Amino acid sequence: MTDRHEATVTITNERGLHLHVAGLVSKRAASYQSEITLINRDIKANAKSIMSLALLAAPKTTKLTLIAVGPDSEQAVNELVEAFADGFGAP
């Protein structure tokens, strides 16, 4: 059975998921072994890729579906949910 975890996260950054925030998300996501995907309506983005995250063009308050698949998916989802709530420490 594949280890798969899912959650909903909300963008809290004032100007949405812009490039600076995308950089922070991808840096954090890249620290997990799991494959991490963020979904905004019909757009799926690889959370480890900046260019992919930019496709989401998500403004503040957007709800995204976070899916992690892999051995550390539970830890990844838990920590990323927290990080999104905090806006990855960015304004």
Partner 1 sequence: MQYELSLRLISGGEGLERELTTPQVTRPGLALAGYFKHFSPERIQVLGQQEVTYLTDLTSERRRHIFEQLLSQQLPCIVVTRGQEIPPELIEESRRTQTPLFSTRMATASFIGRAIVFLEEEFGPSEVVHANLVEVYGVGVLILGKSGIGKSECTLELVKRGHRFVADDSVILKHITGHRVIGTSAHPLKHYMEVRGIGIIDVVTLFGVTSVRSHKRVGMVCSLEAWDEYQEDNRAGLDEEEFELLSEKLPHIRIPVRPGRSPAVMLEVATTDWLARRMGHFAAREFNEALLRQIESQQHLSAKEFEDWDDQVDF
Residues that bind partner 1 (CB under 8 A): 15-20, 22-23, 26-27, 30, 40-43, 46, 49-52, 54-59
Which CB sits closer to partner 1, 74 or 83?
Answer: 83
| Inter-residue contact 3 to 41 (CB < 8 Å) | no
Which CB sits closer to partner 1, 23 or 74?
Answer: 23
- The answer for 89, left when phi > 0, alpha when psi is -120 to 50, beta otherwise, is left
Least distance (Å) from partner 1 to the CB of residue 32?
Answer: 14
Please classify residue 80 by burial: count the beta carbons closer than 10 Å to its beta carbon, then call 0-12 exposed, 13-18 middle and 19+ buried.
buried
Least distance (Å) from partner 1 to the CB of residue 54?
Answer: 5
Which CB sits closer to partner 1, 22 or 66?
Answer: 22
